[in-house]
Amino acid sequence: MNPAFLGKWNLDKARSWGGEAFAKALGMPDEQFAMFDKMELALTISKEGGGYKFSFDFKGAAASYVVTVGEPVTVPMLDGTSARLTLTIVGDTVKEKYKTTKFAWTITRTVSGKEQKVVSAAGDAKMTHFFVKE
């Protein structure tokens, strides 16, 4: 993974869009989306052993997991369920493929300077977030 991805990133909510359509594509109830949409989010990506640790801090809820490139791993979701994640790297792009028993989605991450663009897609629904590096 390009070292530019490593470090602490804070969500720039003002420059994020598409969350409601993405949540509906994943079957998220409106009340759960409303709660999720209000949360502040910090993401820390670090190298750990032969993989990468993703630590999410929702300022009241937290989750973390370690993933090795190309090796599927089960990761926790905020709703208490889990998903299978496979991480791949193509050039300077990090791609994550998630799958549960009901849904599948992808996340594509790119970095330019101190900005990380994250595009999540489930079917035709897309959500775009921008994170700023500390």
Q: Which of the two residues, 80 and 11, has the higher pLDDT score?
A: 11
Rounded to an integer, what distance in angstroms lies between the CA atom of residue 43 and that of residue 16?
A: 15
Rounded to an integer, what distance in angstroms lies between the CA atom of residue 43 and that of residue 8?
A: 6
The gap between the terminal CA atoms of the chain, to the nearest Å, is 19
| pLDDT at residue 42, as a whole number | 95
| pLDDT at residue 77, as a whole number | 81
13-18: list long-range contacts, CB under 8 Å, 24+ apart: 13/40, 15/129, 15/130, 16/127, 16/128, 16/129, 16/130, 17/127, 17/128, 18/125, 18/126, 18/127, 18/128
Residue 18 has pLDDT above 90, yes or no: no
Confidence of residue 19 (pLDDT cuts 50, 70, 90): confident
Q: CB–CB of 56/62 below 8 Å?
A: yes
pLDDT in tens, 121-131: 999 999 999 99
| pLDDT at residue 36, as a whole number | 76
| pLDDT at residue 40, as a whole number | 86
CATH homologous superfamily, domain 3-129: Calycin beta-barrel core domain (2.40.128.20)
pLDDT in tens, 107-123: 999 999 999 999 999 99
What DSSP string runs through 68-118? -TT--EEEE-TTS-EEEEEEEEETTEEEEEEE-SS-EEEEEEEEETTEEEE
Average pLDDT, the chain: 92
Write down the pTM of the prediction: 0.90
pLDDT in tens, 21-80: 898 898 888 888 887 777 789 999 999 999 999 999 988 778 899 999 999 999 988 778
Domain boundaries, the chain: 3-129
